[in-house]
Structure formats: C-alpha cells, structure tokens
Amino acid sequence: MRSWPGVADRHKGPGFPLTMNLDTRHRHYVISGIGNRDLGSYFSFMDADPARCIKGTKTVDDLKLSALHQGVKILHDPVRNKGTAYTEAERDHLKLRGLLPPRVHTPAEQELRVLANIREKPTDLERYLYLVSLQDRNETLFYRVVMNNIDEMMPLIYTPTVGQACQEFRHIYRTPRGFYVSLEDRGRIREIMQNWPHRDAKIIVVTDGERILGLGDLGADGMGIPIGKLALYTACSGIHPTHCMPVMLDVGTNNESLLNDPVYNGLERRRARGEQYEELVDEFIQAAKEVFPGVLIQLEDFGNSNAFRLLSKYRDQVCLFNDDIQGTGAVAVAGLIAALRITGGKLTEQKILFLGAGEAGIGIADVFVAALVEQGMPEEKARQRCWFVDTRGLLVADRDNLAEQKRPYAHQHKPLDTFAEAVAELKPTAILGLSGQPETFSREIIETMASINDRPIIFALSNPTSKAECTAEQAYTWSEGRAVFASGSPFDPVKLGNRTFVPGQGNNAYIFPGVGLGAIVSRSRTITDDMFLAAAHSLANQVSDADLERGRIYPQLSRIRKVSALIAHDVARLAFEKGLADRDEPEDIEAEISKYMYQPVYPHYA
C-alpha cells in the first residue's frame, strides 16, 4: 500500500496509509485513512466510466491508468497538478516524460521560486494576479505558500488588495473560477448547479455584489470576494479547496461605469428588486440544499436593504450566516474584550459610539449586547450602552423612517448633527468606525477621546485601507501613544518616541473560518448567535500578554490556524450541546477537527 508523506517540514517525517474508495453514485474516489493529516479530499473522475473502474478499497497503484488524468490533462488540473515535483516514477506512470523539465523539485524549492516571483512584482495587484494564476494551476502549492507566509500573503489574497482586484475584475479576468447564477437562470438553478465539478461542496460563500467592502456596487465584478473568502477558509481553518464553492448571484448593477464598459462580464441591466430578486435568491437557497445536503451558506457583501432581511428569513431554514453582520460583530467584540486588559474596567462599564449604522455596526452592537446580557445586564440597559451616528446624525428615538434594525439603538436624546458633537456630548470609552468614509476620525475627535479617557479605544474598521476612518499613525500620534487601536485592513507598525506600536487588525478572518469549520465538523443544522459570542470569547482568550505589550489586541496571524481550530471546537461543542448536530458527538472534538483540517501536501501517484 502506498503512503503519502507527512506535512512535517519539507517532506520530512513519516508517511500515512492511503486508501481510495469508489463512490459510484458521484463517480469519484474518496481518499481516507491518513489520520490527523487527512487531506479531506477526493480526486474527481468525471470522465471515467464507473462500470470500468475498480470497485472497493484500492491503493493508487491498483487503479487502472485509464481512470487517472494523465499527460497534459493532469498538468492542467489544479487539484492534482504537482508541477516539477512529480517524481521519476510518477512521470512514467502518468505519461509525463517530455512534458516537464528533467529536474524533480521538492515543494520547498517550488515555494522558493514562487516567493521570489511574488517579491519581484512592482505592485500588490500584480502580486495578486500571480497568486491567482498559481491557484488556477496548482492549488496545493498555492496553499503551501499562503499558509507558510500568512502575514505576507493575506493582504494580497484578501483585503486590501482584493478591493482593487474587484474594481479591476472585468479587465484582469483570465480563467473561470467560481459559479455564476443570474436572473436568466431562474427555473433551472438546481439543474445548472450540478455542473459544479466537485460533488461534495460543504461551504458556499455567495454575494450579489451590491456592497463590496466599502466600495459599493460592483455587480458581477464582486466575484473576487467569495473567491478570496474561501481561500481564507482553506488557509486559516483547513476547509479543503474542493469543498468550497464561490457563488455570484448576478441580478444586475446600478453602477453606470460597469454598464457602459464593453468588457464587463455581468448582466447588462439595472439591479433587480422585489419579486424577481426574491424568487432568484429563494430558488438558489433551495437548490443548494438539495444538490449539496447540509451545505453551509455564508452571505457576503449584500446591501443593507437585503442583508438583514435575508439573514432573518433563512437562518432557521438552512445552515447560514452573514459574515458582515455576525462575523464582524464577533471579531470587534473580541477586540473590545482584549482591549480591557490594557485599559482596565469591565465590559459592562463601556459606552460605545459607532460611526456608521449599517450591517457591520449593528452586528457589532448585537454581539456586544449579548455579551453584556451574558454578564447579567438587562437587554434594554445593554442596548443603551451603544450609540450610533449615521448620515443623518445621532440616531435618536424621535427620528422618523427608522430602519427596523436601527430601532433598538435609537435612544432618547436631543439631535446632534456631527460625530464630533456626539463624542463631546456622550463621552464614549470607545469609538468604532464602520462608515466607509476615510479620515472621519479627525485630530479633534481623537484628541477629545484622549481627554475623556486615559486609554481611548479607537477602532477604524472600514475596508479596504483607503477607506479607514484614520490611520494607525494618526491614532497613536494624536492620542500621544495612549490609544488602543485596531483597523479592518493592515497598517504597518508605528514608531513613536522610543516605543513601537503594532496595530491590531480586526479582520473577520479570525472568526468566520473557525465558525465554518466547527459547523462543518459537527454538521450543525443552523448557526446561532451564541456561536458567534463563543467565538468572540475564544479569540479574545488567545491574545497573549506579549501581544498586549506591543499594543496588539488580536493574536499574531501566524497562529491563525490554531486560533481557528479552538474557535471551531467551541462552536462544535455548542452544536452538540444544543442538539443541532446531525451526527453523534465524537469522544474527542479537538481530534476530530484536527483530522478534518486540510494540509497542502502532494499525494504520491506511483
């Protein structure tokens, strides 16, 4: 029986037995039997005749060559391709002689080549394009590079670079990736979803492109977001790439520049609303449930008018959550909890003033209120610790035409027109920016916060970096080094006098991969609010004293897989405790999670 090498450094370490079981219904082999390094993967044989395939449990050597992609076909398959790492025996077995340069490289040597190419590129967008190209030809090597260099790669494959990539998506489009469902597909979505090449999708990230980061309506060009999010699911929590499905619901766009661009890839029409929209979303949700039973659906970057409503409508029907609302809420509250280890005081003593009352702001407030209620505070009193300023000024009770999600946070107070007025009047302990409006945390505002609080908490959470309410340097400088700062996108360390501050990045990637992993391993039927509160506590508990000494209120990104695994454990535990899991509880949840997590290791074909 053949073995696959362990993931220990550069192909060192023991191998693990490999078996492949033929699933004749789905026409693919399922790989199993490699313990806590289980790739959780399969190799699809969509072009194989199941009647001719060997039944039962087989090693790779037992498979007929006709059942495997060979020659140029396997080199063009990103799931199976090993590039120059195919061994001498594999080159004979798979008919690769002459199709590759003669030298066999180790994965470590391949990684060196990739890193050298990336670092030679003059712009982040070109680095993004290089990484996308690598992902399209060799997924294993792509994830090896990302996982081994997460601090360097995350800003390239996701925010802030993904924002620019989405803005340019129609012009830089090269190879199809992801799944598109448009208004023209109504009535046959279940049928076309079966065109997806991987039959075991476990997680779908879906957007309609209406509110991409802080950039607005990007229509079908918003596909870069689901692709990027799912890359983080794999890199940060070990969801296997073939279990991930990025989806764009193309319902049109109101972005005139896109509609007037001859190379735009989306529908040439204005954005659908009302019945048309509702029917498409509902058909998609039902089709996903039927084609991929038990699939987890993450709603991403929907507009405010749809995000809250869709979450409320479907959260009890399917395993589903909205990362912009719930994920942002959990990561921000985790930051607040960790910040109190610097500032002192209790969570119940905090007063938060939000700039922006959209999905992210309301989501944070909801998780914060849940945390206060958990500590014994009545819910109504807990909501009074949260204040909002939106485009119309301070959110107050006597304002007319209030959106439903804003009403619980509209308090009795005289109207105030500006955020600066609200800071001076309300005297918050923390200000959180989620407005998508850069430079709105002015010097006056930060100096006022520093005069009210010995250690003011200042979170500039809008993405990408260009939309941040202030920079890290501004927050530290204007507060004379007393601010506890976090941002949505990364900022470089700031040197002030003889101190160096390392800004924390309140990136949702600390939350959603672990929540998704826990839900998948437990086979949870729904995602509950208390799962996100548990994730917030788990994340805050993983901030070390060394992190806090440097001003960082989130763990180092290099630890993110460990962070995600611990969050997944807490989420799965809740699913089992509350009877939400469609499987028996394993004896060791942590071991079960570790067993599932994907590692970017090449298989041996011969």
Mind telling me the catalytic residues? 158, 229
Residues linked to residue 433 through DSSP beta bridges, in sequence order: 355, 460
Let me know: does 363 contact 371? Beta carbons within 8 Å: no
Query: Beta-strand (E) ranges in 325-429?
Result: 352-355, 386-390, 393-394
How many CB atoms neighbour CB 309 within 10 A?
Answer: 14
In which residue are the tokens 């194989």 written?
A: 48
| Torsions phi, psi for 115 (to 5 deg) | -60, -40
β-strands 386-390, 393-394: how paired? antiparallel
Structure tokens at 98: 């002459």
Let me know: does 555 contact 544? Beta carbons within 8 Å: yes
Distance from C-alpha of 256 to C-alpha of 89, rounded to nearest angstrom = 56
| Torsions phi, psi for 58 (to 5 deg) | -135, 155
DSSP state letters, 110-175: HHHHHHHHHHH-SSHHHHHHHHHHHHHH-HHHHHHHHHHTHHHHHHHHSTTHHHHHHHTHHHH--S
Let me know: does 442 contact 422? Beta carbons within 8 Å: no
Q: Helices (DSSP H) in 375-486: which residue ranges?
A: 379-383, 419-426, 443-452, 472-478
Let me know: does 180 contact 188? Beta carbons within 8 Å: no
Report which residue type is found at 350: Q
Q: Which of helix, strand or coil describes residue 309?
A: helix
- Of 447, 363, 435, give the one whose Cα is nearest residue 392: 435
Residues linked to residue 246 through DSSP beta bridges, in sequence order: 205
| Torsions phi, psi for 98 (to 5 deg) | 90, -15
214 burial type by CB count under 10 A (0-12 exposed, 13-18 middle, 19+ buried): buried
Q: Which residues contact 432 (CB under 8 A, 6 or more apart)?
A: 332, 352, 353, 354, 355, 361, 364, 459, 461
DSSP state letters, 514-580: HHHHHHHHHTBS---HHHHHHHHHHHHHT--HHHHHTT--S--GGGHHHHHHHHHHHHHHHHHHTT-
253 burial type by CB count under 10 A (0-12 exposed, 13-18 middle, 19+ buried): buried
Report which residue type is found at 112: L
Distance from C-alpha of 156 to C-alpha of 236, rounded to nearest angstrom = 15
Let me know: does 201 contact 127? Beta carbons within 8 Å: no
Distance from C-alpha of 556 to C-alpha of 297, rounded to nearest angstrom = 28
Distance from C-alpha of 3 to C-alpha of 1, rounded to nearest angstrom = 7
Distance from C-alpha of 148 to C-alpha of 153, rounded to nearest angstrom = 9
